Amino acid sequence: MAAVPTDSGSRPAAGARFFCTAGRGLEPFLMREVRARLAATQVEYISGKVFFTTCSDLNMLKKLKSAERLFLLIKKQFPLNVSSVSKGKILSEIQRLINDDPESWLNAISTWKNLLELDAKKDKLFQRAANPPKRKVEENDIINAKKLKTKQLQVLQESGECSLEKQTEEETQEQGDFLTEREKSQEAFQNDVVKAADAKNQKNLTFRVSCRCSGAIAKTFTAQVHLPPKEVGRITGIALMKQFGWKADLRNPNLEIFIHLNDIYSVVGIPVFRIPLASRAYIKTAGLRSTIAWALASLAEIQAGAFVLDPMCGLGTILLEAAKEWPDVYYVGADVSDSQLLGAYDNLKAAGLKNKIELLQVSVIDLPLPSESVDVIISDIPFGKKFKLGEDIKSILQEMERVLHVGGAIVLLLSEEHHRRLKDGDQSSIPLSSEGSHTGEPSIKKCLKPGGKTGTSETVSSSFEASSQECLDKTPPFGSLVPVECHKVSLGRTDAFICKYRKLHSLGL
């Protein structure tokens, strides 16, 4: 295969190179977020992934809300050449991912190590601030115990309670030992990882490889050369052991290598966190996927002091995501279902937000709110088998329109059927920001174009904006509500639309 320019994971002067996986259609939300939250540069995308450069530490990277997983980039290049069905030649192509550019691997390991070292130092400082050193704890408590002893001896000279000092010292000693052992354990874990990641001592590094193949290349691997993803991972692992002297450990490795091979690109990276970013620790019972819920809230432009309503809140996932990100807001969730509201209350309680979000059991078409009293409405319009919308979508939107303040925004997650109904019977298909659209494929090619400039954030953003605008041009206003933005997103087995409307004037004008 002819050599092509690659995007390595080395740390440039401006920061380290990362990529996040994202649900199909959420790439524009993730691109906006990394720019705003991480001050990221060189932001570009290929379907399902967003690449960017940032100087942010692990604590900031953990705050990403629209991403599924975060990886430190090792390399990104054109797909493997599998025109030949010879298994030997394909194995040789896989091994070249490592052998052709070993420096990119070492640079990525060095960056990974530096991130962990910085995080470990910050944790150590935090622990020291929260837990005084053992010696200091003992000295302070011994002094306090002696003062207590003197006072007690003065009052109870003959009571025989001098043993209090010894008991106090023993309890203090046990507490100090517990804190110190916990601190040592945490430090030892970080130090072991950092030591293993040191590129100067490669033989201490343990690793495992996970591989994903998709598209025609996956069919070629499995059907023609009988090479499943596990076998690709094993071959890659052998090449890494030979090249760097690393040791394989499938159960508890220091390092995991992720490889994605398809017809458009080959991407290799290191998962930064073992737990996906999309797995929210503060959500007890999952409803709508957290990344979709956050995307809905982010599009609403929530301001401090606003009144935000979800009139069909279900388990409250959208309100949870919004309240975590924009806390100084008055949130109200409404639903007609007892079970959904109970689940929402449990979620709010588990997240520590039960005093931040008010829940009401009311119908979405009869909201007990004054006209033009709400600043923002965000909602997932039910269209699943379990909770399917019984009322007409237009009557629901009319009630939302009534309670919405002039200038306020409505952000909805709509099924394809609901979206068609709001287009007043327009059955034509709409090209949107999604994989395989006419605006998506050119941007993917630009992102990997050899010998030219890679797809920049401006190029990618313009493609998303153009497709969204084409959607809006075909969507007529509904009463005083005018469409502002529209994105097609994947919910797994089905697709949906994130649509934003703005109220331009009062009803009847």
Q: For 281, phi and psi rounded to 5 degrees?
A: -70, -25
Give the count of beta carbons closer than 10 Å to the beta carbon of residue 364: 22
Please enumerate in sequence order all residues whose Cβ is within 8 A of that of 129, keeping only pairs 6 or more positions apart, or say none.
none
* Amino acid making up residue 54: T
CA distance 247 to 214: 28
Select the highest-mean-pLDDT range: 83-87, 200-204, 251-255, 495-499.
495-499
CA distance 230 to 219: 14
Enter the tokens of residue 128.
């020291």
CA distance 342 to 284: 12
Contacts made by residues 307-310, CB under 8 angstroms, sequence distance 24+:
307/332, 307/373, 307/374, 307/375, 307/376, 308/332, 308/374, 308/375, 308/376, 308/377, 308/378, 309/333, 309/334, 309/367, 309/369, 309/374, 309/376, 309/377, 309/378, 309/403, 310/334, 310/377, 310/378, 310/379
Please enumerate in sequence order all residues whose Cβ is within 8 A of that of 502, keeping only pairs 6 or more positions apart, or say none.
407, 408, 409, 410, 481, 482, 484
| Average model confidence (pLDDT) across the chain | 78
Q: Collapsing DSSP states into helix, strand and coil, what is residue 481?
A: strand
pLDDT of residue 174: 41
Quickly tell me which residue has 């331009």 as its tokens.
504
* pLDDT tops 50 at residue 197: no
Bridge partners of 378, per DSSP, are: 411
* Cα angle value 12/17/23 (rounded, 5°): 165
pLDDT of residue 31: 98
pLDDT of residue 462: 54
Q: Which of 132-136, 169-173, 209-213 has the lowest mean pLDDT?
A: 169-173
pLDDT-derived band at 204, boundaries 50, 70, 90? confident
CA distance 79 to 448: 10
Indicate the class that CATH gives domain 290-423+477-503.
alpha beta
pLDDT of residue 493: 86
pLDDT of residue 220: 82
CA distance 186 to 202: 23
User: Would you list the DSSP string of 108-167?
Assistant: HHHHHHHHHHHHHHHHHHHHHHHS--HHHHHHHHHHHHHHHHHHHHHH-TTS--THHHHH
Query: Which of 48, 504, 491 is CA-nearest to residue 289?
Result: 491
Q: Which of 96-100, 236-240, 347-351, 429-433 has the lowest mean pLDDT?
A: 429-433
pLDDT of residue 464: 55
The pTM of this model reads 0.76
Q: How many CA atoms lie within 13 A of 28 on its CB side?
A: 28
97 vs 438, more confident? 97
Please enumerate in sequence order all residues whose Cβ is within 8 A of that of 495, keeping only pairs 6 or more positions apart, or say none.
25, 416, 434, 488, 489
The predicted model gives 295-313 an average pLDDT of 97
pLDDT-derived band at 164, boundaries 50, 70, 90? very low
pLDDT of residue 5: 42
* pLDDT tops 80 at residue 428: no
Residue pLDDT, tens place only, 209-243 = 999 998 888 888 877 777 888 888 999 999 999 99
* Amino acid making up residue 464: F
Enter the tokens of residue 255.
């390092």
* Phi-psi group of 324: left, alpha or beta (phi > 0 → left; psi -120 to 50 → alpha; rest → beta): alpha
How many residues are present in the chain? 509
Residue pLDDT, tens place only, 353-409 = 999 999 999 999 999 999 999 999 999 998 755 445 555 778 888 999 999 999 999
CA distance 138 to 169: 8
pLDDT of residue 223: 76
pLDDT of residue 389: 56
* Amino acid making up residue 179: L
* Amino acid making up residue 67: A
479 vs 79, more confident? 79
* Cα angle value 64/70/71 (rounded, 5°): 150
The predicted model gives 344-354 an average pLDDT of 94
The predicted model gives 39-44 an average pLDDT of 96
Give the rounded percent of residues in the chain with a pLDDT score beyond 90.
49
Enter the tokens of residue 308.
């935000």
Quickly tell me which residue has 């023993």 as its tokens.
170
* Amino acid making up residue 386: K
Indicate the class that CATH gives domain 68-111+204-271.
alpha beta
* pLDDT tops 70 at residue 442: no
- List C-alpha distances in Å: 236 to 60, 75, 209, 486: 31, 14, 7, 42
Query: Which of 119, 278, 237 is CA-nearest to residue 189?
Result: 119
Give the count of beta carbons closer than 10 Å to the beta carbon of residue 166: 11
Q: Any idea where the domains of the chain sit in the sequence?
A: 68-111+204-271, 290-423+477-503
Give the rounded percent of residues in the chain with a pLDDT score beyond 70.
67
pLDDT-derived band at 25, boundaries 50, 70, 90? very high
The predicted model gives 188-209 an average pLDDT of 60
pLDDT of residue 167: 43
pLDDT of residue 452: 36
Select the highest-mean-pLDDT range: 14-28, 163-177, 384-398.
14-28
Q: Which of 17-26, 138-147, 193-202 has the lowest mean pLDDT?
A: 193-202
Q: For 427, phi and psi rounded to 5 degrees?
A: -95, 0
pLDDT of residue 472: 53
- List C-alpha distances in Å: 223 to 226, 227, 264, 277: 6, 8, 20, 34
pLDDT-derived band at 120, boundaries 50, 70, 90? confident
H or E segment to which residue 196 belongs: helix 163-197
Enter the tokens of residue 25.
């259609």
* Amino acid making up residue 458: E
pLDDT of residue 22: 97
